[in-house]
Structure 1
């Protein structure tokens, strides 16, 4: 993995999807295609042997935390973790800054999740080891964004001349924020942003996508927005975010197998960063385009 260890990523923080250019994305994807062999143990790679990965989550997580720890282990690293601040010295009054500085002493790289936007970047300014943003409130989730982009890239003809529908809580869904920034690196993409006004993508992100040359349509019409989509990316209502908005406004944004069969392209692909809360019905799991099932497996690669 010499190319990756000598790239601009080596030793760098990963805080925002804005950091990536197309050449770096291509490099990451080339290595991502090799990961299933390592996961299946067809090939052994101990590139992180002797290193310690730190996993520090100040907010709940299942897939991101477990896949991060598994990745460290499969590449030869050991792992130290703090997965609930209620069981840390912060309950005794320790400051966030002191906690981060202390955690950094015990690892070679830190993967941090925090419920407040900007706090992972704050940690990166304190720590003397690289920091990876595993989600900062309603801000970004660049590693999930990369996974979603990779899935779209492989499923939709390398994102050439595709139409994407992004639907749900686009305002506070951090995964879709990172994905939208990454989509700006590609040409010939049309994007339908489907949400009620109260949950629509932030204006600055819409502007960024349009400046990059993407054809962006902002709409609340779910049926019309997904009808011609090559892929549909669903975002759950962010019930764990403040302030609480009337989530019932999102009830009409729901995929069922009958809806897909009657009103969408036969070859449409369906993505979801998970967890889902009802916006994708269970019967969609058997749809041939339900690539979110593949993503579940890919997180372990």
Structure 2
């Protein structure tokens, strides 16, 4: 990992930390009188502990399998972010790899876990149904507006430099690709399954803190990480925690406060930041 990568990721982490603090205060003000008891939707403590352990083992195996599959096909490791996300450096990334990344993550972290748990729990227990649509839409609108403005200003409006044709094809393609590759996996695996069980076992604060760490851990195989030496391993793990833990905590906070895992997806994931940040990357990869 080059020093420039480390500096760039460090700057991203610091900027995200400031933004997350501001957004957390705003969301708390919007939801403080109608916060949901997410822990009550989770199974009893022994079952929650057993299911959470199973999810952690499954998530680790899915990460290792994704890394092995990417290596076997001559690609980057398949992790929670497509190679080139956030800092560029996508190398030889092509359309086949991007599509395979989205398909693998949607299957491994969204479809299969959802089908397994849906046999025992309804959509409310999985935090996949709103119990207060007006509040949820308000939170989504406010957070999405702030995040969109922040991303557009912070990125020197890179997406605005695209031609009309590139934007017309690149924006919807990026939205669908990242929805499948990281949005729905985070929605199901982390927000619908892990966070409620953490709330049962560790309380609301614990669910937010540990939910952020789980979200960060799912990015340990991202393409920019390197484990070739002790120093690079320490740097990679440290930067993953710096860049992803606080955003992951905010996503978990949105779920804990609203009881609706969909809120994080539309307010702080699928559109902003990913569609706004990564459309130029997708345009390059697919040569649009």
TM-score of the superposition, structure 2-length normalised?
0.23
Q: Which has the higher contact order (CA 8 A, sep 6+)?
A: 2
Higher helix share: 2
Structure with greater Cα Rg: 1
Higher strand share: 1
